[in-house]
């Protein structure tokens, strides 16, 4: 065989055997799924793709109005969906995986004390300068690890969101699961002493929060003590990885 052909064959063989460039773990989407592929009944209202959020503009990294989760979290959420469906509800998703650039966008916004366009809707009782101090905004988020979801319940009989007594992303003690009740026992107490302006929620609204909470905890999620809508898979697969890929449909 001519030497030139041998050389070409050698180059081809070397190229085939050469290792592919390593993928940055933070950019690896292989262990994620599009949430609605795993939970087809879920309703999406991706607030950070829209302008109706506490910032007032679309958040960096949200390229499409979809939701992504790790495979493990999505499987657990499917079990939650089946559970609440038997009770007459559907899951409504506000946010799931959040890229680090989205969190960085929140941090920049929080540092700009003049940007208060959405204060009336999301933090009327809070001075914006306290967002970092009270940890409403942080430089890292569990959402970025891919197994955290923000959600509520949709009542299939009334065809409306279940009344939770407060909006998603409300910055204040009124969003705490223990506001006006004991989330461990499900008992409504009516104690609104934590509210700086005397706001309250009704027994029915507290009960609605507990329906969501019980279903999430029963299927492997853990709650956050400051947000009734926020849950993280208890055995999340990537507890130390903060992903960077954008929110868009997975191919």
The whole domain housing 165 covers 31-233
Q: The pTM is what?
A: 0.91
To the nearest whole number, what is the mean pLDDT of the chain? 93
In a domain, 248, yes or no: no
pLDDT for 12 beyond 60: no
Total of domains in the chain: 1
pLDDT 10s digits, 64-79: 999 999 999 999 999 9
pLDDT at 8: 43
Instruction: State the average pLDDT over residues 88-100.
Output: 98
Q: Is residue 244 part of a domain?
A: no
Confidence of residue 15 (pLDDT cuts 50, 70, 90): very low
> Would you please indicate which residues are annotated as catalytic (active-site) residues?
227
In a domain? residue 7? no
Which of these ranges, 19-33, 83-97, 204-218, has the smallest mean pLDDT?
Answer: 19-33
pLDDT score at 23: 76
- Rounded to an integer, what distance in angstroms lies between the CA atom of residue 159 and that of residue 162? 9
| CATH assignment of the domain containing 186 | 3.30.1380.10
What Å distances lie between residue 20 and 23, 49, 127, 169, 244, CA to CA?
Answer: 9, 34, 51, 42, 21
């Amino acid at each position: 065989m001519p030497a030139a052909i041998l050389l070409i064959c050698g180059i081809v063989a070397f190229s085939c055997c050469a290792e592919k460039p390593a993928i940055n773990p933070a950019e690896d989407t292989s262990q994620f799924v599009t949430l609605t592929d795993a939970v087809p009944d879920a309703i999406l209202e991706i607030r950070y793709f829209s302008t109706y959020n506490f910032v007032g503009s679309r958040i960096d990294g949200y390229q499409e109005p979809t939701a992504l989760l790790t495979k493990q979290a999505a499987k657990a959420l499917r079990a939650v969906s089946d559970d609440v469906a038997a009770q007459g509800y559907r899951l409504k998703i506000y946010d799931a995986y959040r890229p680090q650039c989205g969190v960085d966008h929140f941090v920049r916004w929080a540092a700009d004390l003049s940007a208060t366009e959405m204060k009336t809707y999301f933090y009327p009782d809070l001075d914006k300068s306290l967002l970092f101090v009270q940890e409403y905004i942080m430089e890292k988020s569990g959402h970025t690890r891919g197994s955290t979801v923000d959600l509520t319940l949709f009542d299939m009989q009334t065809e409306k969101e279940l009344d939770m007594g407060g909006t998603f992303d409300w910055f204040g003690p009124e969003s705490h699961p223990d506001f006006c009740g004991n989330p461990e026992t499900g008992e409504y107490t009516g104690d609104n002493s934590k509210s700086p302006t005397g706001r309250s929620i009704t027994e029915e609204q507290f009960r609605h929060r507990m329906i969501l909470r019980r279903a999430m905890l029963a299927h492997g999620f853990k709650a956050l003590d400051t947000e009734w809508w926020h849950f993280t898979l208890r055995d999340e697969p990537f507890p130390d990885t903060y992903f960077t890929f954008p929110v868009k449909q997975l191919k």
